[in-house]
């Protein structure tokens, strides 16, 4: 097969795929009830900001990878959404395992007003360092004054607590619930996400996806949030029923925490 033939095949496949997607979209849109706004059409849903929400996702050394990237996968699909990865300094920021880095496009100093700020969690080392970092706490307090929603995933709630931004109720990673209550005087709620005013906290790691779908509805509408959930095919059916700490054995909890600890650099 020549290079020309290969490129021709690629072009044909792309065209076929694009046509299939277009036909499917047209067919689905045709089936919507009259007067229903399409999730991708700006200006047709009451209360929607035509410019889209400005969302800042904080990164800091040692964060857990899915904490910010799960919500970003959801929120970046909202019409007109502007997602910016931010950190104390521009550049790559390493995760807790050290195997992966995510690039911060703006520093705190370069970040303007945000509609949403999201703080991920981390292992002990990363969380404690973030809680003790004056630059992070100053930025969060400044951003919080203007946000529509200030959010966290996993132990990111502890960082919000260190900044003095938590309300009376919150959630966090299951192993950090006692610390949350004892340190910040907050009532821990064993839910996937908890809203207290404009502060929304999510439980551990994967719960950030649930929280971000709830946030998507608040920023747009329920139809759009449902459409995004379908777009990313978020229909969790795990092979094991062991994700609920309240139902896990002490041995399983011990192993889970040991695996987390051993995986962190």
Catalytic residues: 154
| 254/79 Cα distance (integer angstroms) | 43
Collapsed DSSP state (helix, strand, coil) of residue 60: coil
- Could you identify the residue written with the tokens 């050394």? 61
| 197/152 Cα distance (integer angstroms) | 14
- Could you identify the residue written with the tokens 């690629």? 10
The one-character DSSP state at 247 is: G
| 26/48 Cα distance (integer angstroms) | 23
| 216/179 Cα distance (integer angstroms) | 29
Strand partners, 199: 150, 196
Q: Sort strands 82-87 and 54-58 into parallel, antiparallel or unpaired.
A: parallel
209: Cβ–Cβ under 8 A, 6 or more apart, which residues? 70, 71, 73, 74, 234
């Amino acid at each position: 097969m020549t290079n020309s033939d290969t490129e021709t095949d690629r072009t044909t496949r792309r065209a076929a795929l694009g046509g299939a997607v277009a036909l499917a979209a047209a067919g689905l849109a045709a089936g919507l009830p009259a007067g229903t706004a399409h999730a991708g059409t700006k200006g047709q849903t009451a209360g929607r900001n035509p410019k889209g929400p400005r969302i800042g996702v904080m990164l800091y050394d040692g964060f857990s990878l899915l904490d910010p990237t799960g919500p970003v996968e959801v929120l970046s699909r909202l019409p007109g959404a502007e997602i910016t990865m931010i950190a104390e300094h521009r550049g790559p920021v390493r995760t807790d395992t050290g195997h992966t880095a995510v690039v911060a496009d703006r520093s705190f100093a370069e970040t303007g007003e945000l509609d949403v700020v999201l703080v991920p969690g981390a292992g002990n080392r990363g969380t404690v360092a973030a809680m003790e970092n004056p630059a992070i706490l100053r930025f969060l307090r400044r951003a919080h004054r203007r946000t529509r929603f200030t959010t966290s995933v996993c132990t990111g709630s502890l960082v919000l607590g260190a900044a003095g931004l938590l309300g009376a109720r919150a959630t966090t990673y299951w192993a950090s619930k006692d610390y949350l209550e004892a340190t910040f005087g907050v009532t821990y709620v064993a839910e996937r996400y908890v809203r207290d005013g404009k502060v929304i906290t999510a439980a551990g790691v994967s719960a950030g996806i649930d929280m971000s779908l709830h946030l998507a509805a608040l920023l747009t509408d329920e139809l759009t949030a449902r459409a995004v959930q379908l777009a990313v095919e978020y229909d969790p059916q795990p092979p094991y029923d062991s994700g609920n700490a309240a139902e896990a054995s002490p041995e399983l909890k011990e192993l889970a925490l040991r695996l987390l600890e051993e995986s962190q650099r």
